């Protein structure tokens, strides 16, 4: 399924023009930092020198985890379903942030234990919760593919409805154990270095978490060159759903903003399945979870915000959305040096030479 997809290629000429444009804006070269890179990358993805990112959507993939029975979370498993109801009522943190920043929230249940899924949550349940992956694969390959398909479908639909910027997040009690296990399997790094306290577990539960991950790695012997298999062994249904979102974003040429540990672990699985996914990915914040920094480094992306957050549910990604508007707005509205009758700065020259040789753009 994953191999048959066509992914949009970057518009490299537009991206070069955007780089030249941002360098010609009335500011010292590079002084808008990450905002410059956001703008240039958005231009490359969309093929527009002034990218339209007006319509934004937040996808929250939800699912329950069999691993929760190992006592790895600070909260009971029922909180996954309760939060799905909370999202449906518009009362969760992400709903507030989405309203503040003008984005639509779409909640997809790919695997909760709920008897009934509340309106307007989309019911795409593949099964009710994963298996406890210390004893069995979390799900079958076929189930992982079905959950990926749910992500592909929602992104295709959102794009058709006019979405131009996507944020991807999740809800699932126990899923920081899954996120850390996937990171360990895909990077080969030590479990101790990658395991964090998730919702805020005690020292005792932290060590249960580490033991559970080690046991799962010993049981399944995940092969990092087979990412779909690794996902089925150690992942979650909502994680597979997010993998589908990123694959769908790459197919549609839609910029996709990742959230914290779990959302970024899904992105790494998607990139390992299809390297072109990397072209559409943006990092938002840096989660407190230790594996998150490792994943971002693996993807070669720098987070925009370090606010000490560890909530999930796409909250960090949603918080970063105004930075994307700022990046595009600055590029659209600022004057250029040409507007002031000055020569274009030359980014290949160092600061001093440029000032001396061109006598321009320096105070």
Ligand X SMILES: O=C(O)c1ccc[n+]([C@@H]2O[C@H](COP(=O)([O-])O)[C@@H](O)[C@H]2O)c1
Ligand Y SMILES: Cc1cc2nc[nH]c2cc1C
Residue 61 in the binding site for ligand Y (CB under 6 A): no
For residue 343, the 8-state DSSP code is P
For residue 327, which phi and psi values (nearest 5 degrees)?
A: -60, -45
Which partner from the list ligand X, ligand Y, none does 132 bind, CB cut-off 5 to 8 Å by kind?
none
How many C-alpha atoms does 23 have within 13 Å on its Cβ side? 14
Distance CA 354, CA 346 (A): 7
Residue 175 in the binding site for ligand X (CB under 6 A): yes
Residue 312 in the binding site for ligand X (CB under 6 A): yes
* Least gap, CB of 142 to ligand Y (angstroms): 28
Q: Where are the alpha helices (DSSP H) in the chain?
A: 12-23, 33-46, 78-89, 93-100, 141-160, 175-187, 191-194, 203-220, 227-234, 237-252, 261-273, 290-299, 315-333, 351-358
Q: Which of 43, 166, 256, 262 binds ligand X (CB under 6 A)?
A: 262
Residue 137 in the binding site for ligand X (CB under 6 A): no
Q: Which of 112, 287, 318, 320 binds ligand X (CB under 6 A)?
A: 287
* Least gap, CB of 312 to ligand X (angstroms): 2
DSSP string computed for 187-233? H---HHHH---TTT--HHHHHHHHHHHHHHHHHH---TT-HHHHHHH
Q: Which residues are catalytic?
A: 313
Under 8 Å between Cβ of 17 and 43: yes
Residue 134 in the binding site for ligand X (CB under 6 A): no
Q: Which of 313, 317, 345, 361 binds ligand Y (CB under 6 A)?
A: 313
Residue 284 in the binding site for ligand X (CB under 6 A): no
For the window 122-151, what string marks contact with ligand Y as x by the rule CB under 6 A? ------------------------------
Distance CA 104, CA 167 (A): 10
Q: Which is nearer to ligand Y, 159 or 310 (CB)?
A: 310
Q: Which is nearest to 181 in space by CA: 211, 206, 217? A: 217
- The span of 126-134, 216-224, 246-254, 310-318 binding ligand Y (CB under 6 A) equals 310-318
* Least gap, CB of 214 to ligand X (angstroms): 16
Q: Which is nearest to 267 in space by CA: 287, 292, 232, 233? A: 292
Burial of 91 (0-12, 13-18, 19+ CB in 10 A): exposed
Which partner from the list ligand Y, ligand X, none does 176 bind, CB cut-off 5 to 8 Å by kind?
ligand X
Contacts of 135 (CB under 8 A, 6+ apart): 219
- The span of 62-70, 128-136, 263-271, 305-313 binding ligand Y (CB under 6 A) equals 305-313
- The span of 101-109, 120-128, 285-293, 309-317 binding ligand Y (CB under 6 A) equals 309-317
Which partner from the list ligand X, ligand Y, none does 46 bind, CB cut-off 5 to 8 Å by kind?
none
By DSSP bridging, strand 281-282 and strand 122-123 are unpaired
* Least gap, CB of 73 to ligand X (angstroms): 3
Residue 314 in the binding site for ligand X (CB under 6 A): no
Which residues of the shown chain bind ligand Y in the complex (CB under 6 A)?
Answer: 75, 79, 83, 171, 199, 311-313
């Amino acid at each position: 399924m994953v191999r048959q997809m066509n992914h949009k290629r970057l518009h490299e000429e537009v991206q070069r023009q955007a780089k030249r444009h941002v360098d010609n804006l009335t500011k010292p070269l590079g002084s808008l930092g990450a905002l410059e890179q956001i703008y240039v990358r958005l231009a490359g993805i969309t093929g527009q020198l002034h990218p339209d990112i007006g319509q934004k959507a937040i996808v929250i993939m939800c699912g329950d985890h069999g691993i929760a029975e190992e006592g790895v979370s600070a909260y009971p498993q029922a909180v996954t379903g309760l939060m799905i109801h909370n999202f449906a009522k518009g009362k969760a943190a992400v709903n507030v942030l989405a309203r503040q920043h003008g984005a639509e929230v779409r909640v997809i249940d790919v695997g909760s234990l709920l008897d009934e899924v509340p309106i307007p949550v989309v019911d795409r349940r593949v099964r009710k919760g994963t298996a406890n992956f210390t004893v069995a694969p979390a799900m079958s390959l076929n189930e992982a593919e079905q959950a990926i398909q749910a992500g592909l479908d929602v992104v295709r639909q959102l794009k058709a409805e006019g979405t131009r910027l996507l944020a991807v997040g999740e809800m699932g009690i126990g899923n920081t154990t899954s996120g850390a296990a996937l990171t360990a399997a895909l990077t080969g790094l030590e479990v101790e270095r990658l395991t964090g306290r998730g919702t805020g577990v005690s020292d005792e539960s932290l060590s249960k978490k580490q033991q559970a991950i080690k046991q799962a790695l010993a049981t399944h012997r995940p092969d990092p060159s087979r990412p779909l298999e690794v996902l089925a062994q150690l992942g979650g249904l909502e994680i597979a759903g997010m993998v589908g979102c990123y694959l769908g974003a790459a197919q549609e040429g839609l910029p996709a903003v990742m959230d914290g540990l779990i959302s970024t672990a899904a992105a790494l699985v998607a990139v390992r399945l299809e390297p072109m996914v990397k072209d559409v990915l943006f990092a938002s914040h840096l989660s407190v979870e230790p594996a998150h920094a490792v994943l971002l480094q693996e993807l070669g992306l720098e987070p925009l915000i370090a606010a000490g957050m560890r909530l999930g549910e796409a909250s960090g990604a949603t918080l970063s959305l105004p930075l994307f508007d700022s990046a595009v707005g600055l590029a659209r509205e600022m004057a250029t040096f040409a507007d002031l009758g000055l020569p274009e700065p030359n980014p290949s020259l160092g600061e001093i030479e440029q000032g001396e040789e061109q006598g321009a753009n320096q105070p």
